[in-house]
Amino acid sequence: MCHHIHSRQSRIAIVDANVLARMGLERILEELIPMAEIVAFGSFDELRARDEVEFVHYFVSSRIYFEHTAYFRTKSGRCIVMVAGDMTVSGVATLNVCQGEALLVRDLLSLQRRGHRGNLPPVMEAEQCHMASRDKKANLLSAREVEVALLLCQGCINKEVADRLNIGLTTAITHRKNIIEKLGARSLADVIVYCVMNGIYDV
């Protein structure tokens, strides 16, 4: 039986001057952690104006992090610095935001599974409950659909799926559509979470 982990809603802050990056991450986090309240800020000053609010995590652009390192160091166990590429930042977790949605979701799940200090809200358990209720109504994926789902998790687009499995592009698109329908998925993020939870894809 599924139950809520927290009695109150978890709050997660996103601090980034880039509007599109902020909105994109906000949408993904809302899908992955539906029980959390995501609050986006365009500047450090906007965040400080709401400083009385307690956030369980801070997703911060690298520029803002380095401009206000002293502030964020006090929250290092709850701070995740958004970087471009494989850049690392001493003492804090990082998230490469310059990649496709599938890889970004994979890295978010990987952060959660590795037990990021302070722990991300229970993405897996909440989504597992959400997906499990759907799975009772859904057929299991066929062997070919599992292969397609795995490639989708790896960030492959439809043409790459078709090429790797030596199938037609239309067939690859049909498999993707069937996977989404069978899982009742709202987005590729749901497919990735399902694959991780069912041992199809290891983050």
* Pair (87, 134) in one structural domain: no
Give the pLDDT of residue 2. Answer: 34
Most confident of 28-42, 116-130, 162-176, 184-198: 162-176
Query: 184-188: long-range contacts (C-beta < 8 A, 24 or more apart)?
Result: 184/134, 184/137, 184/138, 186/31, 187/31, 187/101, 188/101, 188/102, 188/105, 188/152
Between these two residues, 198 and 159, which has the higher pLDDT value?
159
Residue 17 identity (one-letter amino acid)? A
DSSP string, 69-98: HHHHHTTGGGEEEEESSS---TTSEEEE-S
The pLDDT of residue 160: 95
* Orientation of helix 188-197 relative to helix 123-135, angle to 10°: 90
Residue 105 inside a domain? The answer is no
CA 115 to chain centre: 15
- Percent with pLDDT over 70 in the chain: 80
pLDDT at residue 135 in the model: 44
Residue 84, domain extent: 10-98
Full-model pTM: 0.66
- Per the structure, the count of domains in the chain is 2
Which range has the worst mean pLDDT, 55-59, 96-100, 116-120? Answer: 116-120
How does strand 36-41 pair with strand 93-96?
A: unpaired
Mean pLDDT of all residues in 137-163: 85
Q: What is the model's pLDDT at position 162?
A: 95
- 25 in any annotated domain: yes
Distance (Å, whole) CA 203 – CA 183: 20
Rounded mean pLDDT, 165-191: 90
Confidence band, pLDDT 50/70/90 cuts, at residue 6: very low
Q: Please check whether residue 115 lies inside any domain of the structure.
A: no
Q: Which of the four pLDDT bands, split at 50, 70 and 90, describes residue 32?
A: confident
In a domain, residue 82? The reply is yes
Residues 93 and 133 in one domain: no
Residue 84 lies in a domain: yes
Residue where a domain terminates, one of 83, 98, 113: 98
Residue 186 is part of a domain; what is its CATH number? Answer: 1.10.10.10
CATH number reported for the structural domain that contains residue 26 in this entry: 3.40.50.2300
Is pLDDT above 50 for 106?
A: yes
**What's the pLDDT at 203?**
61
